[in-house]
C-alpha cells in the first residue's frame, strides 16, 4: 500500500519497485555510513545494532523533510507527522524521530531522521535539550493539508509543540500523544492557531512543567473541538523551582473553542497522574461555546490546582462530570481556588456531576464553584458504592462568593469516613445525604431539602457532626443530626418537614426560623437577635436561650401551634417578646429550675414579655425577672407544676396580667414579689400560705382559707372599692389608693386591712349629725365611727361599694311586703332569662325622691352565673345545686335605709354539655400516638389502644378506635346525655368510638382554625336587617339568612359565615359556637344563631305634638293617592347568585332599587368554560340595583385559560386560587387602592412566562408583600 509523505514522496512504493527490478524483497535493515543499524522491530522502528545495509535508490530522504538547528537544539518537522522513540544507544536517553504518514502511532519504516552532530558525524540521537515542533511559522512551508500528529513513546527532549503558528488555520486535526519518555519542560499541542480538532493525550511518560492542549495567542486561537487526556502515573511531575502557575496541565489556555472540550483524567488504582508539584487547570481563560465534558477514571490528587474551568473562562454550555472512580482533588487548604470545579471568575451554564453505577469514589477536598457563576448545579453521587478519604477529607462541594442564577441540586449516598459538605449559593438537595458536617456560606445562600429526602449528619471517630449556615435553609424533607457534641447553626431556616437533633447536639439560630411542621431538639437551643415563627411542633428538650440583640430585625417570637420546653436545663428569654397563639408545654420537672425565664436585656433597656393568646401549661413554670411582663389573653395553667416555687416566680418589678375572658390557674407558695392583675378567670389551689400581691378586678377563686391568705406578710390581696353618697353629702374621701394597670379605672383596697372613710363636707342645710351610717352595699354591718365624721371597717375579700347613708327625711326604716322568694328549678348552661323581677316587691315607708338599689348580699350571694341587672335577677347558671340554694338580696330604699329578702332556689340541675365529636387524623405508617386530634372540647383525651401500634386501615374500618375524653367539668354537666359516646361515671370519662382519617403520606395538612363567629349585633330602632353593620374581617363574610327588608326586633336570628379559604384551613367550631347551634354546611359556610339587640325608640315630646297651627294643619293633610310615598324596594338577599354578561356574582350586602343604598357583590365565577380577558368591574347594575364589586371569590376563574385580568377600583379582597391554573396568564392590572388581602395561590401557575402585575405606584410595596404572602410565583410587579 502506498503511503504518501508530506512533499509527495512515496516510501512504501520502494517495495514494489525493488521486486520489479529483480531485487530481493525489502530488508528492513538499513545501514548509513557503516556506523549504525536500525531494525523496524515489526514496524515499530526500534534500533538494532550491526545490521546489514540496503539502500533503495528511489527512497525519499527523511533528512531533507525536517529542519534541525544544532545551535538551538530545535527540530521543526514542517508539518510531517512522526513517532518519537528512545534510541537504542546504550546508556543514552536520546530520542529518535520516525515518519508516521498515516497518523496511527506506528512508524512507517525503520528509517529515523539523521543529522550532523557536533562531532561532524551523522546521527539519529537528538540531544535531550532539543525542542521539537510539528509545524510552526518558521517552517517557511505551506500550511499542512491534513492532520498533524506526534506520538512519543520514549527518549528525552526539552519542549514539544504540535503546531506553533500565530494566526494560521489548519483544516486537519492536531494531535500530541505521549505514552512514554520524558519532556523536561513544556508540551503544547496547538499554539495560536485555528483548527477543527486538537487532541492531547498523556497515558505515560513524564512532563516537567506545563502540558497544554490549546494555547491562544493574541486572540487568534479558534478551535472546533478539544480532546484532552491525562491517565499516566505521575506524568505531570512539576518542578519545585517553578511557580505553581507554570506547573499545571491545561486543556485550553486563552483563545476560544467553538465546540466541546472533552477531558479524561485519573491514573489506575495505586497511582496518581500528578507528581510532587503537578496540577491541572482544565479550561483556563478560554471561551467555550459547547460543553466541557470530564471523565474521572482514577486518582488525580495534587498539592497544586485541580480545576476543570478556571481563570475567567466563559462556557456557554454545561460542565458535565462523569465520575467513574478515584479521587480528583487538591490537598491544598490554604487556597480554596486550588480545588474548585469552576473557579476565579468563570461562568458556566450548568454544572452536572454524576457518579457511575457502583463507582468507588474518594476525595480529599472539593468545591464546585469558587468566585464564579452558574445557572444550575446538579450533583448526584448517589449511585456510588463507597466514598472514602484520609486525614484531609473535607468532602464535598460548593461555591464561595458565587452566583447560582437558578437552583442547585445535591445528591449523596455516603456512609463512610469524614464527610463535610460546604455549600455556597443556592442548592436543592433531591436525594438522601449521609455526611458528618454541612456548612452553608454567604448571606444570600439558599439551600432546599426536597420532600421525602433525608439529610443525616452524624459524628464519627474524628469529627463531630454539625450543620451551619449563613444563608437560608428550607427543609421539605427530613434532617437528622446525631453524634456527641455538635453545633446546628442557622442564619435562616424554614422547616416544612422534620428536623431531629439528638440529645448531645446544640441548635443555634442567628436569623429567622419558620417551622411549619416539626423540629425536635435534644439539647440546647440558642437564638440571639433572631425571629422565630412556629406554625408546627417545636420540641426542645434542653435549655433554650433566646436573647434580644440590639439592631436585630425583630425581637418577637411567635408560637402559633405547639412548643415543648423540656428537661435538661432552664430556658431563658432575654429582652424578647413571646407571642403565643398556640400551645406551650413547660415539660421540664425540676425542683430548682423553671421551664422559661423571662428577663430584661441590658439593665432594663429592653423588657422581656410574654403575650399569651393560646395555652401555656406543664410540670415546670415561668420566672418573670426584673421588669418582665406576662400578658395573658388565653389559658395559663400551673396546677400540675412541680417546679421551683410551684412554677411561678415574679420579681419585684415584674407582673402578670390575666385579661378579661382569660384563665389563670396556679398553686399557692408561688414566689411573687411583683404583682398579679386579674380581670378574667383565676383559680388558686393548694394549702400553702404564699401567693404574693394580687389585684382582683374579678374575684379569684381561692382554695386557701382567709386565715392562710392573711398569714403571710408577703400576701397582699386587693379588691376594687368605690365610695358613693347622696346629694346631702358634698364631699367625702376614703384612703384606698391601690391602682391597676393602665386603663383600669378601679381603686383598690387591700383585703383584711382597715379602710377609712371621712365625710369632709355636707350640703347646705345638712350637718355631720345627719350621717346615719357608712356600710358596704350588700352588707348589714356598718363601719365603726372613729369621730363625728370619720368611719372605719375591714376590707372584705370581694369587689365592694361603700355607701354613706343619711338619715331619711321621714325618719323611718323601709319594710318589704315579702321576705322570701321561691324560684323554680333552673339548669346549668341554660339562659334563665329573668329569674325574678325584684322591682315587683312593694317597699313600705320609703322616701319620695332618690333611687332604689338592688344588690347581692356579700355573705349570701346568688348562684354562680346569676346577677342583678336593672332590678331583675338574670343570667345563666354555671354551677349545679341539686339540693337547692339560698341567697339574699339587699334592697336600699330611696331614703337610703335597707332591707333584705331571701331568694330560695328549689334546685339547679346539671346542664347538657356541648361536645364536638373529634375528627382525628393521621398518616399511613404512623403510630396511634402520632394521630392528631383537634382540641375544641374542654378536657383531655387518651386512647384505649396501644399508642405504639401502627395505624391499621382494616381495623379502623371494621371496628374503629376507642377514644377517652375526660371533661374538665363533670360536676355541673350531665355527660351521660351525650349521644356520641358512653359515659363511664366511675372513671369520669366519655368513651367514644371513632374512625381515624388515615391519609396518604404527603397529603397537605390543613391548618385548624376556630371559626371567628360573632354572636351579638346591635341595631337602631325601626331598623331592618339591611341596616345592621356586619363585622368586616379578613377570614370571611357575615350575612343574615332573613331577607334584607326584615324589620328587626330584639331577639335571635340565623347568621351565615362564609370563610374566604376552605382549601388550606380546616374551620373548627368551639363549644361556644355549639351553644349557638352552629353547624358547618356542605359548601364550607357556617350557620349559627346570633342575638340582635334593637335600641328603644326615644319618646316624643308631648308638648311638641300638641302644638298646631294653620301651616302645620295644611302640611299634615292626607296626601293624594298618587302622591303617597312608596315603600323602599330592596334587592335580593345576601347569598343570592346573580349573572351579568356571563359573570356570576354573589350578593354580600343588600342594595335598594332607588339607589340610596348601594349593595355589594363578589364575583365568584364565569358561566362559560373559558375566557381570555377577565374584566372585574368596579360597579355593576343588576335588576335595577347598583352594586360595588368588592371581592373576587375562591377559585372564581380557576383553569379558565385567562390571558389578561383587569381588577376594578372597589375590590378589597381576592380569594384563594382565584386565577390558579391559567398557564397563559401574562398580565394583571390592579386599579384598586383598597386591597387588604390576596388569598393563597390566587395567581399561581405551573409553566408559562413571567407574569406582569401592574399596580398603583403608591401601593407597590404593600401589594408586593401581599403577593409574596399569597405564594405568587414567576411574576414581576410594575
pLDDT digit string (tens) for 731-780?
Answer: 999 998 889 998 898 999 999 999 999 999 988 878 898 898 899 987 87
Name 507's bridge partners: 488, 525
pLDDT mean across residues, the chain = 79
Question: How confident is the model over 570-605, as pLDDT tens digits?
Answer: 556 666 678 888 888 887 554 455 667 776 555 445
Q: Answer whether residue 293 shows pLDDT above 70.
A: yes
Please report the pLDDT score of residue 464 as a whole number.
44
| Structure-model confidence comparison of residues 902 and 639, the more confident one | 902
Q: Answer whether residue 1123 shows pLDDT above 80.
A: no
DSSP state of 264: E
Stretch 973-994: mean pLDDT? 91
Please report the pLDDT score of residue 379 as a whole number.
74
Please report the pLDDT score of residue 32 as a whole number.
33
Alpha-carbon distance of 589 to 576, in angstroms, equals 24
Please report the pLDDT score of residue 84 as a whole number.
97
Q: Answer whether residue 487 shows pLDDT above 60.
A: no
Question: How confident is the model over 1227-1237, as pLDDT tens digits?
Answer: 999 999 989 88
Q: Which of 208-217, 405-414, 489-498, 782-791 has the lowest mean pLDDT?
A: 405-414
Please report the pLDDT score of residue 859 as a whole number.
72
Local confidence band at 251 (pLDDT 50, 70, 90 cut-offs): very high
| DSSP-assigned letters across all residues of 521-541 | ESS-EEEES-EEEESSEEEE-
Alpha-carbon distance of 861 to 622, in angstroms, equals 35
Please report the pLDDT score of residue 51 as a whole number.
30
The Cβ of residue 9 has, within 10 Å, a number of other Cβ atoms equal to 18
| Structure-model confidence comparison of residues 664 and 70, the more confident one | 664
Q: Answer whether residue 258 shows pLDDT above 50.
A: yes
Please report the pLDDT score of residue 404 as a whole number.
53
The residue written with cell numbers 434532617 in the block is 479
Cell of 439: 456548612
Please report the pLDDT score of residue 1190 as a whole number.
92
| Structure-model confidence comparison of residues 655 and 1111, the more confident one | 655
Q: Which of 156-160, 280-284, 641-645, 1133-1137 has the lowest mean pLDDT?
A: 641-645
Please report the pLDDT score of residue 1124 as a whole number.
37
Question: How confident is the model over 777-818, as pLDDT tens digits?
Answer: 878 788 999 998 999 999 998 889 999 988 776 557 889 999
Local confidence band at 628 (pLDDT 50, 70, 90 cut-offs): confident
Please report the pLDDT score of residue 718 as a whole number.
94
Q: Which of 189-203, 218-232, 688-702, 751-765 has the lowest mean pLDDT?
A: 218-232
| Structure-model confidence comparison of residues 1223 and 1115, the more confident one | 1223
CB 472 within 8 A of CB 445: yes
Alpha-carbon distance of 795 to 776, in angstroms, equals 9
Question: How confident is the model over 139-157, as pLDDT tens digits?
Answer: 556 788 899 999 999 999 9
Local confidence band at 515 (pLDDT 50, 70, 90 cut-offs): confident
Measure CA of the first residue to CA of the last residue in the chain; give whole Å.
75
Name 95's bridge partners: 86, 126
Q: Answer whether residue 485 shows pLDDT above 50.
A: no
Alpha carbon distances (Å) from 391 to 349, 386, 437, 448: 34, 17, 15, 30
Q: Give kind and range of the element (H or E) at residue 320.
A: strand 314-326
Please report the pLDDT score of residue 226 as a whole number.
96
Q: Answer whether residue 1099 shows pLDDT above 70.
A: no
Q: Answer whether residue 243 shows pLDDT above 60.
A: no
Alpha-carbon distance of 428 to 379, in angstroms, equals 10
Within 13 Å and on the Cβ side, how many CA atoms surround 422? 19
Local confidence band at 11 (pLDDT 50, 70, 90 cut-offs): very low
Alpha-carbon distance of 723 to 701, in angstroms, equals 25
DSSP state of 1152: B
Stretch 953-966: mean pLDDT? 90
Nearest to 545 by CA among 575, 520, 515, 517: 575
| DSSP-assigned letters across all residues of 782-794 | BPEESSSSEEEEE
Local confidence band at 127 (pLDDT 50, 70, 90 cut-offs): very high
Helix, strand, coil proportions of the chain in percent (round to 5)? 5, 45, 50
Alpha-carbon distance of 578 to 1057, in angstroms, equals 31
Alpha-carbon distance of 439 to 467, in angstroms, equals 6
| Structure-model confidence comparison of residues 494 and 542, the more confident one | 494
Nearest to 103 by CA among 142, 150, 172, 154: 150
Local confidence band at 276 (pLDDT 50, 70, 90 cut-offs): confident
Please report the pLDDT score of residue 759 as a whole number.
95
Nearest to 374 by CA among 323, 320, 338, 415: 320
Stretch 434-461: mean pLDDT? 66
Q: Quote the distance between the C-alpha of residue 344 and its chain's center.
A: 33
| Structure-model confidence comparison of residues 649 and 554, the more confident one | 649
Question: How confident is the model over 73-98, as pLDDT tens digits?
Answer: 899 999 999 999 999 999 999 999 99
Alpha carbon distances (Å) from 911 to 710, 781, 907, 937: 36, 37, 12, 15
Q: At a CB cut-off of 8 Å and minimum separation 6, what does 634 contact?
A: 580, 612, 613, 614, 615, 616, 662, 663
| Structure-model confidence comparison of residues 456 and 993, the more confident one | 993
Cell of 976: 351521660
Alpha-carbon distance of 469 to 487, in angstroms, equals 11
| Structure-model confidence comparison of residues 351 and 501, the more confident one | 351
Q: Answer whether residue 960 shows pLDDT above 50.
A: yes
Please report the pLDDT score of residue 732 as a whole number.
94
Local confidence band at 1109 (pLDDT 50, 70, 90 cut-offs): very low
Q: Answer whether residue 45 shows pLDDT above 70.
A: no
CB 174 within 8 A of CB 200: no
Local confidence band at 648 (pLDDT 50, 70, 90 cut-offs): confident
Select the highest-mean-pLDDT range: 81-85, 434-438, 618-622, 852-856.
Answer: 81-85
Q: Which of 37-41, 126-130, 296-300, 973-977 has the lowest mean pLDDT?
A: 37-41
The Cβ of residue 685 has, within 10 Å, a number of other Cβ atoms equal to 16
For the sheet with 1251-1254, list strands across it.
Answer: 1173-1176, 1204-1207, 1227-1230, 1251-1254, 1275-1277
Q: Where are the beta strands (DSSP E) in 982-1082?
A: 982-984, 989-994, 997-999, 1007-1010, 1016-1019, 1036-1040, 1051-1059, 1065-1068, 1079-1080
Domains of the chain are 1-157 (no CATH), 162-305 (no CATH), 553-560+567-714 (no CATH), 721-806 (no CATH), 815-909 (2.60.40.10), 921-1001 (no CATH), 1129-1277 (3.80.10.10)
DSSP state of 816: E
| Structure-model confidence comparison of residues 236 and 332, the more confident one | 236
Q: Answer whether residue 403 shows pLDDT above 70.
A: no
Please report the pLDDT score of residue 439 as a whole number.
58
The Cβ of residue 31 has, within 10 Å, a number of other Cβ atoms equal to 15
The Cβ of residue 604 has, within 10 Å, a number of other Cβ atoms equal to 13
Q: Give kind and range of the element (H or E) at residue 706.
A: helix 706-711
Question: How confident is the model over 1226-1276, as pLDDT tens digits?
Answer: 999 999 998 988 988 899 887 778 899 999 988 888 898 889 888 888 889
Do the bridges between strand 747-750 and strand 716-724 make them parallel or antiparallel, or are there none, so unpaired? antiparallel
The residue written with cell numbers 517495495 in the block is 15
Stretch 1005-1013: mean pLDDT? 80
Q: Which of 122-126, 438-442, 1022-1026 has the lowest mean pLDDT?
A: 438-442
Q: Answer whether residue 957 shows pLDDT above 70.
A: yes
Question: How confident is the model over 294-325, as pLDDT tens digits?
Answer: 998 888 877 777 888 988 999 999 999 998 88
Task: Return the CA Rg of the chain.
Answer: 47
Q: Answer whether residue 22 shows pLDDT above 50.
A: no
What percent of the chain stands above pLDDT 70?
78
CB 1186 within 8 A of CB 1168: no
Do the bridges between strand 556-559 and strand 577-580 make them parallel or antiparallel, or are there none, so unpaired? parallel
Please report the pLDDT score of residue 420 as a whole number.
52
Alpha-carbon distance of 52 to 49, in angstroms, equals 9
Please report the pLDDT score of residue 1001 as a whole number.
78
**This model's pTM is above 0.85:** no
The residue written with cell numbers 340541675 in the block is 909
Stretch 38-56: mean pLDDT? 32
| Structure-model confidence comparison of residues 571 and 377, the more confident one | 377
Q: Which of 193-197, 935-939, 1263-1267 has the lowest mean pLDDT?
A: 935-939
Alpha-carbon distance of 908 to 172, in angstroms, equals 109
Stretch 655-682: mean pLDDT? 91
CB 52 within 8 A of CB 37: yes
Q: Which of 513-522, 546-555, 832-841, 1163-1172 has the lowest mean pLDDT?
A: 546-555
Stretch 108-134: mean pLDDT? 90
Amino acid at each position: 500500500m502506498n503511503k504518501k509523505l508530506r512533499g509527495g514522496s512515496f516510501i512504501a512504493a520502494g517495495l514494489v519497485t525493488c521486486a520489479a527490478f529483480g531485487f530481493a524483497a525489502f530488508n528492513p535493515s538499513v545501514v548509513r555510513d557503516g556506523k549504525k543499524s536500525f531494525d523496524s522491530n515489526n514496524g515499530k522502528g526500534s534500533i538494532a545494532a550491526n545490521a546489514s545495509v540496503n539502500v533503495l535508490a528511489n527512497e525519499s530522504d527523511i533528512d531533507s523533510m525536517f529542519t534541525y538547528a544544532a545551535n538551538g537544539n530545535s527540530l521543526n518537522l514542517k508539518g510531517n507527522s512522526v513517532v518519537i522513540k528512545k534510541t537504542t544507544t546504550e546508556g543514552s536517553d536520546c530520542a529518535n524521530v520516525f515518519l508516521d504518514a498515516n497518523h496511527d502511532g506506528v512508524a512507517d519504516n525503520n528509517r529515523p531522521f539523521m543529522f550532523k552532530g557536533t562531532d561532524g558525524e551523522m546521527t539519529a540521537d537528538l540531544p535531550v535539550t532539543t525542542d521539537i515542533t510539528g509545524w510552526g511559522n518558521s517552517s517557511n512551508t505551506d500550511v499542512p493539508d491534513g492532520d498533524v500528529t506526534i506520538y512519543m513513546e520514549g527518549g528525552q527532549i526539552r519542549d514539544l509543540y504540535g503546531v506553533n503558528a500565530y494566526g494560521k488555520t489548519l483544516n486537519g486535526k492536531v494531535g500530541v500523544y505521549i505514552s512514554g519518555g520524558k519532556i523536561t519542560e513544556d508540551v503544547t499541542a496547538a499554539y495560536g492557531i485555528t483548527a477543527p480538532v486538537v487532541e492531547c493525550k498523556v497515558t505515560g511518560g513524564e512532563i516537567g512543567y506545563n502540558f497544554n492542549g490549546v494555547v491562544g495567542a493574541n486572540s487568534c486561537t479558534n478551535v472546533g473541538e478539544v480532546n484532552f487526556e491525562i491517565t499516566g502515573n505521575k506524568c505531570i511531575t512539576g518542578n519545585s523551582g517553578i511557580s505553581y502557575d507554570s506547573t499545571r496541565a491545561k486543556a485550553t489556555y486563552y483563545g476560544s473553542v467553538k465546540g466541546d472540550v472533552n477531558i479524561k483524567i485519573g491514573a489506575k488504582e495505586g497511582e496518581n497522574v500528578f507528581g510532587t508539584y503537578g496540577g491541572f487547570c482544565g479550561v483556563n481563560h478560554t471561551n467555550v461555546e459547547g460543553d466541557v465534558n470530564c471523565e474521572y477514571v482514577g486518582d488525580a490528587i495534587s498539592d497544586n490546582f485541580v480545576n476543570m474551568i478556571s481563570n475567567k473562562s466563559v462556557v456557554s454550555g454545561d460542565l458535565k462530570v462523569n465520575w467513574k472512580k478515584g479521587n480528583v482533588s487538591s490537598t491544598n487548604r490554604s487556597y480554596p481556588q486550588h480545588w474548585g470545579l469552576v473557579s476565579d471568575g468563570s461562568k458556566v451554564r450548568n454544572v452536572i456531576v454524576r457518579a457511575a453505577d457502583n463507582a468507588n469514589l474518594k476525595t480529599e477536598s472539593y468545591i464546585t464553584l469558587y468566585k464564579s457563576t452558574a445557572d444550575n448545579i446538579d450533583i448526584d453521587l448517589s449511585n456510588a458504592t463507597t466514598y472514602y478519604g484520609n486525614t484531609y477529607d473535607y468532602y464535598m462541594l460548593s461555591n464561595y462568593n458565587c452566583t447560582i442564577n437558578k437552583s442547585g441540586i445535591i445528591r449523596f449516598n455516603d456512609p463512610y469516613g469524614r464527610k463535610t459538605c460546604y455549600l455556597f449559593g443556592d442548592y436543592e438537595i433531591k436525594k438522601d445525604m449521609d455526611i458528618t458536617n454541612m456548612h452553608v456560606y454567604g448571606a444570600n445562600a439558599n439551600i432546599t431539602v426536597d420532600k421525602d429526602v433525608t439529610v443525616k449528619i452524624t459524628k464519627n471517630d474524628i469529627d463531630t457532626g454539625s450543620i451551619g449556615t449563613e444563608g437560608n435553609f428550607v427543609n421539605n424533607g427530613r434532617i437528622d443530626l446525631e453524634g456527641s457534641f455538635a453545633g446546628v447553626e442557622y442564619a435562616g431556616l424554614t422547616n416544612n418537614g422534620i428536623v431531629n437533633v439528638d440529645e448531645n447536639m446544640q441548635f443555634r439560630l442567628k436569623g429567622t426560623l419558620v417551622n411549619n411542621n416539626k423540629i425536635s431538639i435534644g439539647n440546647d437551643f440558642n437564638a440571639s437577635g433572631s425571629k422565630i415563627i412556629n406554625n408546627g411542633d417545636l420540641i426542645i428538650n434542653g435549655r433554650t436561650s433566646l436573647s434580644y440583640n440590639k439592631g436585630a430585625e425583630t425581637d418577637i417570637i411567635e408560637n402559633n401551634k405547639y412548643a415543648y420546653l423540656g428537661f435538661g436545663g432552664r430556658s431563658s428569654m432575654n429582652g424578647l417578646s413571646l407571642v403565643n397563639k398556640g400551645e406551650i408545654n413547660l415539660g421540664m420537672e425540676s425542683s430548682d429550675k423553671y421551664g422559661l425565664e423571662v428577663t430584661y436585656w441590658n439593665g432594663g433597656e429592653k423588657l422581656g414579655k410574654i403575650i399569651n393568646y393560646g395555652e401555656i401549661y406543664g410540670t415546670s413554670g415561668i420566672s418573670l425577672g426584673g421588669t418582665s411582663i406576662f400578658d395573658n389573653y388565653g389559658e395559663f395553667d400551673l396546677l400540675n407544676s412541680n417546679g421551683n416555687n410551684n412554677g411561678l416566680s415574679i420579681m419585684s418589678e415584674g407582673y402578670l396580667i390575666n385579661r378579661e375572658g382569660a384563665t389563670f390557674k396556679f398553686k399557692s407558695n408561688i414566689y411573687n414579689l411583683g404583682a398579679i392583675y386579674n380581670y378574667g378567670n383565676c383559680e388558686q389551689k393548694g394549702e400553702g400560705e404564699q401567693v404574693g400581691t394580687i389585684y382582683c378586678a374579678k374575684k379569684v377563686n381561692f382554695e386557701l382559707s382567709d386565715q392562710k391568705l392573711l398569714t403571710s406578710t408577703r400576701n397582699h390581696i386587693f379588691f376594687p372599692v368605690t365610695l358613693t353618697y347622696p346629694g346631702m353629702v358634698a364631699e367625702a374621701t376614703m384612703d384606698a389608693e391601690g391602682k391597676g394597670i393602665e386603663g383600669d379605672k378601679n381603686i383598690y383596697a387591700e383585703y383584711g386591712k382597715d379602710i377609712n372613710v371621712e365625710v369632709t363636707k355636707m350640703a347646705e342645710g345638712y350637718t355631720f349629725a345627719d350621717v346615719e351610717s357608712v356600710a358596704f352595699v350588700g352588707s348589714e354591718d356598718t363601719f365603726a365611727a372613729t369621730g363625728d365624721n370619720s368611719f372605719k371597717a375591714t376590707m372584705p375579700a370581694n369587689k365592694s361599694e361603700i355607701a354613706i347613708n343619711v338619715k331619711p327625711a321621714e325618719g323611718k326604716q323601709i319594710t318589704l311586703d315579702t321576705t322570701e322568694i321561691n324560684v323554680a328549678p333552673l339548669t346549668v348552661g341554660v339562659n334563665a332569662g329573668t329569674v325574678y323581677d325584684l322591682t315587683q316587691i312593694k317597699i313600705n315607708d320609703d322616701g319620695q325622691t332618690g333611687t332604689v338599689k338592688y344588690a347581692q348580699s356579700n355573705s349570701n350571694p346568688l348562684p354562680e352565673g346569676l346577677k342583678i341587672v336593672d332590678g331583675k335577677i338574670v343570667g345563666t347558671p354555671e354551677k349545679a345545686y341539686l339540693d337547692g340554694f339560698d341567697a339574699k338580696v339587699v334592697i336600699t330604699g330611696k331614703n337610703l335605709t335597707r332591707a333584705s329578702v331571701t331568694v330560695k332556689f328549689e334546685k339547679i340541675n346539671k346542664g347538657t354539655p356541648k361536645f364536638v365529636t373529634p375528627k382525628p387524623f393521621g398518616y399511613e405508617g404512623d403510630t396511634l400516638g402520632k394521630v392528631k386530634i383537634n382540641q375544641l372540647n374542654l378536657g383531655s383525651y387518651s386512647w384505649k389502644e396501644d399508642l405504639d401500634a401502627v395505624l391499621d386501615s382494616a381495623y379502623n374500618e371494621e371496628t374503629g378506635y376507642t377514644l377517652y375524653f375526660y371533661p374538665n367539668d363533670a360536676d355541673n354537666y350531665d355527660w351521660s346525655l351525650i349521644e356520641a359516646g358512653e359515659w363511664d361515671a366511675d372513671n369520669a370519662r366519655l368513651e367514644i368510638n371513632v374512625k381515624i382519617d388515615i391519609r396518604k403520606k404527603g397529603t397537605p395538612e390543613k391548618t385548624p382554625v376556630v371559626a371567628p363567629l360573632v354572636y351579638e349585633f346591635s341595631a337602631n330602632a325601626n331598623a331592618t336587617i339591611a341596616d345592621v353593620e356586619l363585622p368586616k374581617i379578613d377570614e370571611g363574610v357575615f350575612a343574615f339568612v332573613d331577607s334584607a327588608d326584615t324589620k328587626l326586633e330584639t331577639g335571635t336570628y340565623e347568621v351565615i359565615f362564609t370563610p374566604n379559604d376552605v382549601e388550606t384551613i380546616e374551620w373548627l367550631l368551639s363549644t361556644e359556637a355549639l351553644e349557638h347551634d352552629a353547624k358547618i354546611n356542605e359548601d364550607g359556610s357556617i350557620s349559627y344563631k346570633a342575638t340582635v339587640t334593637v335600641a328603644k325608640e326615644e319618646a316624643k315630646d308631648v308638648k311638641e305634638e300638641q302644638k298646631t297651627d294653620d301651616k302645620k294643619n295644611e302640611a299634615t293633610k292626607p296626601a293624594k293617592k298618587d302622591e303617597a310615598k312608596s315603600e323602599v324596594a330592596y334587592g335580593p338577599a345576601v347569598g343570592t347568585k346573580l349573572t351579568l354578561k356571563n359573570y356570576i356574582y354573589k350578593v354580600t350586602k343588600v342594595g335598594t332599587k332607588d339607589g340610596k343604598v348601594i349593595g355589594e357583590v363578589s364575583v365568584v365565577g364565569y358561566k362559560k368554560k373559558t375566557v381570555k380577558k377577565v374584566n372585574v368591574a368596579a360597579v355593576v347594575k343588576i335588576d335595577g340595583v347598583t352594586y360595588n364589586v368588592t371581592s373576587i371569590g375562591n377559585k372564581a376563574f380557576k383553569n379558565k385559560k385567562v390571558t389578561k385580568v383587569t381588577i376594578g377600583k372597589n375590590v378589597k379582597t381576592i380569594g384563594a386560587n382565584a386565577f390558579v391554573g391559567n398557564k397563559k396568564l401574562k398580565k394583571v392590572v390592579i386599579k384598586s387602592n383598597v386591597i387588604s388581602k390576596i388569598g393563597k395561590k390566587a395567581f399561581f401557575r405551573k409553566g408559562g412566562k413571567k407574569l406582569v402585575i401592574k399596580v398603583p405606584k403608591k401601593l407597590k410595596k404593600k401589594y408586593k408583600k401581599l403577593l409574596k404572602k399569597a405564594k405568587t410565583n414567576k411574576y414581576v410587579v410594575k
